[in-house]
A and B are shown apart, each in its own frame.
Chain A
Amino acid sequence: MHILDIHTHLLDLKSLDQELLDFIRSWKMRTVISCLGLNGEMWRNPSFGALQMCNGKVATLVQKHPEIFYGFCYINPRHGSKAIKEIKRCIRNYGMKGIKLWIACRCNKKKVFPVIEAAIDYNIPVLQHAYVRKGPNLPGESYPEDVAELAKKYPQVKIIMAHMGFNWKRGIDAVKFYKNISVDTSGFDPEFGSIEYAVKQLGAGRILYGSDAPGRDILCQIGKVNAADISERDKAHIFFQNARFLLRTK
């Protein structure tokens, strides 16, 4: 089983980071990784200096294990022109392959647009967190509909909507008409029918396997896609081929 995980995190916690590395090695996987905070924390609205430290950690890891990791740079759109400079630094100096956006602000806000324009210029994907909670979302947390709005405004950008929007039916329905949006399978429970629905609505070519490890158990996340009643060909695309194509890698 060839696997390229589009969504993992460097937590800057020695034991968990090592566990992640060991697991990925043992399964001969490759993975995209980003860092949202140091010492196990996740920074919603990091300062520019803090964010640079996060990206620096990823750069070091990728440099040490280029056969395993692809880096995505964590960007805070609230940093304005500095955010664009940071994207440039990460792409040019560290060979990072994409941008990770979390919950500094909702993705349909104007602050995000320069980041998206940079992604288009560099031809790199944007991994955008999106959720639908039972109660209100967290401040700055995007809904799938926000992702759709962004994709409509920028049809040239490649967006990966993380977690299928968490409420996967609503998430998939919100983005299905925007061909520049793929979804990743990370970070939600192995809910029966979720992957089949995504394949039916989006096509297997727009689904990327992700785990959200090490916070999530990788076996459950792999198991979720593996369990789906879809063809082996579709599974191969989801587990590996789609990400390989998107990242323009081997």
Chain B
Amino acid sequence: MIIDFNAHIGTWPEKNMRCSVVRLKKILVSSKIDCAVFSDITPVFSNKNELTPGLKKERVPDMFIPFLSLGPHFSVGQIKKKKEKIKGVRLYPVYTKYPLRQKEWYNLFTYAEQQNWIIQIYLRLVDIRTIKLTKSIASVIGSVEKIVEKYQGLKFVISGVTLEDIKKRPELFRQNNVWVEISHLQHPINALYRLLGLVDSTKVLFGSNAPLFYPKSATFQIENSEISREDKKRILAENAQKMLEDNR
């Protein structure tokens, strides 16, 4: 079984990305992915203040677990009105100007704790040399460290992580409430093997970054890495399964 913790629908004009639920399902199913955490990325890169514009008319297939992608204009009040069942929220502080210290943010995390949501924070969606960032990754990691420490009751998934990020701030990635999603584990040789020397395999989640990346490339990396069968099973599904079940 494979659970993908990093899939998207929606529109990102700068990257010519336009993906519906139907298209995403096709891509993931053809890559033998059974289940995916997904969200509509559109609010992050548009001025629209809608939380799930791509889901207005589309039905969400059973294989998908919806999260909310938060653009710069969200409010906690808006989120509280959402009737759809979501399991978490996604934040993109390197791509959009979130003032992380504002009261609204603390209201969000408090509400998320009450709702038992997972907080997924993106350090990267694509190679940082291809797109302008609104904030450096280093400064975002600094902010994330503080939030993770303050909200020990929340589970955090850090997406778009590289080995270098982890080596620079190992304490963050050793926190009990932090998991690493590995779609950007592209450097260097034997990257996944190296990662497991830094992070316990129970804290690693498979993510494809579909439809920006080939999901089959991500599964290929795991399946062919020189790590134990047990670790592969944990990464591909068990860790995500446990996390999602614990957060029911």
Contact = CB atoms under 8 A, between A and B. Distances in A.
Interface stretch (A29-37, A67-75, A183-191, A199-207): A183-191
B216 A223 contact: yes
B175 interface: no
B189 A227 contact: no
Contacts of A220: 185-186, 191, 217, 220-221
A133 B129 contact: yes
Contact of B189 (A188, A190, A214, A228): A214
B190 A223 contact: no
Interface string B162-199: 00000000000000000000001111111110000000
B213 A190 contact: yes
A246 interface: no
B132 A134 contact: yes
Interface residues of B, number: 31
B190 A190 contact: no
Contacts of A226: 216-217, 220
A130 interface: no
Contact of B213 (A189, A219, A228): A189
Interface in A210-239: 213-220, 222-224, 226-228
B217 A224 contact: yes
A217 B189 contact: yes
B212 interface: yes
Contacts of A213: 188-189
Contacts of B27: 192
Contacts of A215: 187-189
B127 A16 contact: no
B114 interface: no
A189 B186 contact: yes
B188 to A, nearest CB: 5
Nearest to B132: A134
A197 B126 CA distance: 18
A192 B130 contact: no
Contacts of B192: 217, 219
A247 interface: no
A194 B216 CA distance: 14
A41 interface: no
Contacts of A216: 186-189
A192 B129 contact: no
Contacts of A218: 189
A117 interface: no
25 contacts: A16-B188, A16-B189, A20-B189, A23-B190, A135-B132, A166-B129, A167-B130, A189-B126, A189-B186, A189-B213, A190-B186, A191-B212, A191-B214, A192-B210, A213-B189, A217-B186, A217-B192, A217-B221, A219-B191, A219-B221, A223-B214, A223-B218, A223-B220, A223-B224, A226-B217
Given A189-B126, A219-B225, A223-B214, 14 more contacts: A23-B189, A23-B190, A134-B129, A135-B132, A189-B127, A190-B217, A192-B213, A214-B188, A217-B188, A217-B189, A217-B221, A223-B220, A223-B221, A223-B224
Interface of B: 27, 31, 126-127, 129-132, 184-192, 210-221, 224-225
Interface of A: 16, 19-20, 23, 133-135, 166-167, 188-192, 213-220, 222-224, 226-228
